[in-house]
Amino acid sequence: MTSRRLLVLGFVRDYILRYGGSPSYGEIANGVGISPTRARQLVQALVKSGQLLRTPGPRGLSLPALRDEAVRQLRELGWQVFAPCADSALPTSPMLDYLPDEHSETAGQWEQRRADARGNG
């Protein structure tokens, strides 16, 4: 790994641990002393090598070790994480009949009342 990649990885790690979220490419560039374009290239290389995780959206960087620790803690609490999901169809519910009561208005009555309120009736 080149020294710039190490610098970017260290900066991202420190930023996430300090602020609880990932830095922008501009913040990485300023922190390491490189251009934002070069910061993006180095982050992409770190993601490709598995040293960083990338989720869609802004500030979507995370560290694999932090994710693994979160998964471990959730499993200790009894949560199923990344469990296989059965590919079954959702149950269908029966159709509900609509029975208007004697006090409800029909669609035509509602339209007429609306037209009367506008003065078009």
- The residues spanned by each domain of the chain are 3-76
- CB-CB contact of 8 with 32 (8 Å): yes
Mean pLDDT for the stretch of residues 93-104: 66
Nearest one of 13, 9, 30, 29 to 21, comparing CA atoms: 13
Q: Model pTM greater than 0.85?
A: no
Q: What is the pLDDT of residue 2?
A: 56
pLDDT greater at residue 63 or residue 92: 63
Which tokens is 59 given? 């500030």
pLDDT greater at residue 93 or residue 79: 79
Q: What is the pLDDT of residue 99?
A: 63
Counting residues of the chain whose pLDDT is more than 90, the rounded percentage is: 36
Residue 53, strand partner residues = 62
Whether 107 shows a pLDDT value over 90: the answer reads: no
Task: State the fold for domain 3-76.
Answer: Arc Repressor Mutant, subunit A (1.10.10)
List CB contacts of 43: < 8 A, sequence separation 6 or more. Answer: 8, 12, 25, 28, 52, 54, 61
Which tokens is 13 given? 């790690």
pLDDT greater at residue 10 or residue 66: 10
List CB contacts of 40: < 8 A, sequence separation 6 or more. Answer: 25
Distance CA 36, CA 25 (A): 6
The string of pLDDT tens digits covering residues 3-53 is 899 999 999 999 998 998 999 999 999 999 999 999 999 999 999 998 899
Q: What integer best gives the mean pLDDT of the chain? A: 83
